[in-house]
Amino acid sequence: MKIVEQNPSRLLLAEHPRFLAGLFALMILALGYMLFDQWDDMGTPERGLVVFLLMLFPVIMHFSVHWVDVRFSRAVGRIEIIRRGLFYNRTRSYRLDLFERARLDTNSSGDGGDTYRVVLIFDEAMVSEMPADLRDEIERQTRRGFRQTPPHEVPLTYYYSSTEPLDIIKSINGWAHHI
């Protein structure tokens, strides 16, 4: 995640995994070329495997490549989190006056390496203002074990990263508490 713009009225953050998206696109092109170039020389099992892989890569991209933009705006009094993937575009908006702080969420793996993500913490009153569909979604995720954070905590990304984003957290907290 990186800071795109920071001034007294706005803070913009972005997470755009271009390398990963490019890698998947390159793999799709390579498999497509192989399928086109070698079609006559391939047997039925090989054709089936290449076609299956060509169909599988967009599905993998859908679940693994997410572009996230976060907009903090004093003028509007909102925080918007825009998540985009291959087949979707979702925007969630939260009241800025209910925002308390950002924190580091750490996931410790068994091999001793930690991974991190940024989580926004809101006043618990935020939960009562959520749309019913979002509350239901969070409840389902919690029940199934997919969500470990309370409903008033909003992770900026669904995944953890090996890079510790302390500078992002300091920027968010500094911007939010600057009067």
pLDDT surpasses 90 at 145: no
Confidence tier at 29 by pLDDT (50, 70, 90): confident
Beta carbons within 8 Å of 50's beta carbon, 6+ residues apart: 31, 34, 35, 42
Model confidence at 101, pLDDT cuts 50, 70, 90, reads very high
Could you tell me if 77 and 95 are in contact, meaning their C-beta atoms sit under 8 angstroms apart? yes
Q: Does residue 179 have a pLDDT over 70?
A: no
The Cα–Cα gap between 127 and 75 comes to 23
Cβ neighbour number for residue 104 with a 10 Å cutoff: 14
Q: Specify the 3-state DSSP secondary structure of 3.
A: strand
Taking residues 67-78, report their average pLDDT: 94
Polymer length of the chain: 179
Average pLDDT taken over every residue of the chain = 84
What is the C-alpha to C-alpha distance for residues 172 and 179, in angstroms, rounded to an integer?
13
